[in-house]
Amino acid sequence: MLVVVEHLEPCVSPWLLSEYSYLVEVFGKDVIFTNVRSRKARELLRSLGAEVKEMSVVELVRRGVIPRPLVLDLKAAEELKPAEVRNFDAVIIGGIMGEHPPRGRTFREITLKLPRNTVSRNLGKYQLTIAGAAYVLRKVAEGVELKHLDIRFGLKFSIKLGDYETVIELPYAFPYEGGRPVLPRNYLEVVAKRSLLFEQSYQCLDESED
């Protein structure tokens, strides 16, 4: 199954890179990042082992490169079912750092721009992170129905970094396995550093002049 991630953030931050890295771990060489305008960002994402394109997935679909796409969209009316996955050439995920409450960016920036007959499905009623969506999509593709997955809304944790200790609350849904949230490696540290303003400003790992 091909997974296309439409990059929709202004840059690749450490948090976003953590999400992307996990997705590539799950799907390997079947991942394509699209709409990556910055040369440095393309190099960074290629280093994960994925294919990277400057062109938007919207244009790829219009050109017939992806004839049967499926969009994962929280606003979709129907949930994704295991039997449906094989009917599509690629599953499109929005490369978006979600907001609370959700603003429907995938719907506005991907779904609405694709041909009207493009199929969209949700992964439940709550907003997942990119990494969470990757995990859930893999499970559904393996034949597991959404109702049989342990998905919980909200994640609260305390963490100490240097002399600072803080409590972080994330208003997203997370899949659980064995009673523990499924998270990318070092995810809590990455999130905490962002929240504690260790990154003095909005840090971009792909900063360049292009």
CATH of the domain at 44: 3.40.1280
Mind listing the pLDDT tens digit for each residue in 185-209? 999 999 988 766 544 445 788 875 4
In a domain, 207, yes or no: no
- Measured between alpha carbons, how far is 3 from 192 in angstroms, rounded to an integer? 28
In a domain, 200, yes or no: no
Question: What is the identity of the amino acid at 93?
Answer: I
Q: If you average pLDDT over every residue of the chain, what do you get?
A: 93
In a domain, 210, yes or no: no
In a domain, 205, yes or no: no
Residue 57 has a CB neighbour count (10 Å cut-off) of 28
Three-state SS at 6: strand
- Measured between alpha carbons, how far is 11 from 44 in angstroms, rounded to an integer? 11
DSSP alpha helices (H): ranges in 35-153? 39-46, 57-62, 105-109, 130-141
pTM of the full predicted structure?
A: 0.93
Residue 201 has a CB neighbour count (10 Å cut-off) of 6
- Measured between alpha carbons, how far is 166 from 181 in angstroms, rounded to an integer? 19
Strand extents, DSSP E, the chain: 2-7, 31-34, 51-52, 69-72, 90-95, 119-121, 150-161, 164-177, 180-181
In a domain, 40, yes or no: yes
Please count the structural domains in the chain: 1
Find the domain containing 112 and state its range.
2-195
In a domain, 50, yes or no: yes
- Could you read off the pLDDT tens digit of each residue along the chain, which spans 210 residues? 999 999 999 999 999 999 999 999 999 999 999 999 999 999 999 999 999 999 999 999 999 999 999 999 999 999 999 999 999 999 999 999 988 889 999 999 999 999 999 999 999 999 999 999 999 999 999 999 999 999 999 999 998 878 878 899 999 999 999 999 999 999 999 998 876 654 444 578 887 545
Mind listing the pLDDT tens digit for each residue in 108-117? 999 999 999 9
In a domain, 155, yes or no: yes
User: What values do phi and psi take at 189, rounded to 5?
Assistant: -65, -40
In a domain, 71, yes or no: yes
